[in-house]
């Protein structure tokens, strides 16, 4: 197991655990987080191009306030792009969470609902999995190590994926092209590459990924750009090399998606821990 610590807000500290190997379930990545800080956390969620499954098993339960004004406690699912305009916050203390980041092309198989039904919202896991949600979290609490927890969750997700039909291969290919291209792709080009009309690609991609292709590409481009900002790169260079028309375009997109400026998002504790937890990204 690879592990490390991540400074979040100057007063608290995460222990971060990563699996020794990549998941054998395609489209699934995992990391473990344990809060070692004396002060409660209060984090603004930054949107990302994955669906997040957060499995809580610590003494403290995270409290998630969503964009609709609802409050969720415990294990949750955050839909693709959740946290737009800084509208989602996570609070709590004494937390232990195993986080799973899901490619949208495996979300229906893993969660049992189409990504479009999540629509960027935050949902309590028991609304999707029923009693299985509590059972899994109990097993995580009883597991003797992070490696046991990762193995337990991987086995569960592999079982769920094996029992569900895959997305259209054309949709999976289009999503992969968007990711590889870091969002700098054209929908017309994607449609031609997979052999579909633009209209058919739009409708099938929206239904199976949860966003239309252009919005999905914008989200992937934003994610790539903000991680470069967190790494300390100048905003002008990030804009020029990430497919934005200019620095003002980057500024507008960051404000629209994160609810804050590029200078502020560069210091986001939500993103800073990624270099440890998801270093293979």
Residue 124 maps to a domain:
yes
pTM for this model (two decimals): 0.92
Is residue 158 located within the same domain as residue 107?
yes
Task: Give the CB-side neighbour count of residue 226, counting CA atoms within 13 A.
Answer: 31
Is 54 part of a structural domain of the chain? yes
pLDDT of residue 12: 47
Q: Is there a domain that residue 38 lies in?
A: yes
| Predicted local confidence at residue 86, as pLDDT | 87
The tens digit of pLDDT for each residue in 2-41 reads 455 444 443 346 889 999 999 999 999 999 999 877 678 8
* Residue range of the domain that includes 120: 2-164
Q: How many CA atoms lie within 13 A of 54 on its CB side?
A: 24
159 plus 173 within the same structural domain: no
Rounded to whole angstroms, the Cα distance separating 62 from 10 reads: 20
User: Quick one: 117 and 22 in the same domain?
Assistant: yes
CA distance 185 to 180: 10
Residue where the block lists tokens 């569900």: 164
Q: What angle do CA 267, 83, 46 make, to 5 degrees?
A: 20
Average pLDDT, integer, range 59-71: 91
Does 64 fall in a domain?
A: yes
């Amino acid at each position: 197991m690879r592990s490390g610590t991540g400074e979040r807000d100057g007063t608290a500290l995460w222990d971060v655990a990563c699996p020794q190997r990549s998941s054998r379930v395609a489209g699934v990545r995992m990391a473990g987080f344990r809060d070692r800080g004396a002060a409660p956390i209060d984090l603004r969620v930054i949107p990302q191009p994955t669906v997040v499954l957060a499995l809580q098993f610590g003494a403290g339960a995270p409290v998630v306030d969503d964009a609709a004004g609802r409050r969720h406690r415990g294990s949750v699912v955050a839909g693709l792009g959740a946290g737009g305009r800084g509208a989602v916050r996570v609070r709590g203390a004494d937390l232990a969470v195993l986080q799973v980041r899901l490619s949208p092309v495996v979300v229906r198989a893993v969660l049992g609902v189409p990504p479009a039904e999540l629509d960027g919202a935050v949902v309590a896991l028991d609304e999707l999995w029923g009693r299985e949600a509590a059972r899994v979290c109990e097993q995580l609490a009883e597991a003797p190590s992070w490696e046991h927890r990762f193995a337990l969750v991987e086995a569960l997700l592999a079982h769920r994926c094996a029992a569900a039909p895959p997305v259209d291969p054309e949709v999976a290919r289009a999503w992969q092209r968007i990711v590889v291209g870091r969002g700098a792709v054209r929908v017309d080009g994607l449609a031609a590459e997979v052999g579909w009309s633009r209209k058919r690609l739009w409708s099938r991609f929206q239904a199976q990924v949860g966003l239309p292709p252009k919005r999905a590409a914008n989200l992937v481009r934003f994610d790539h750009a903000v991680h470069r900002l967190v790494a300390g790169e100048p905003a002008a260079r990030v804009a020029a090399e990430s497919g934005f028309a200019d620095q003002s375009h980057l500024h507008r997109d960051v404000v629209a998606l994160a609810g804050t400026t590029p200078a502020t998002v560069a210091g986001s504790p939500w993103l800073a821990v990624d270099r440890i937890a998801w270093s293979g990204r």
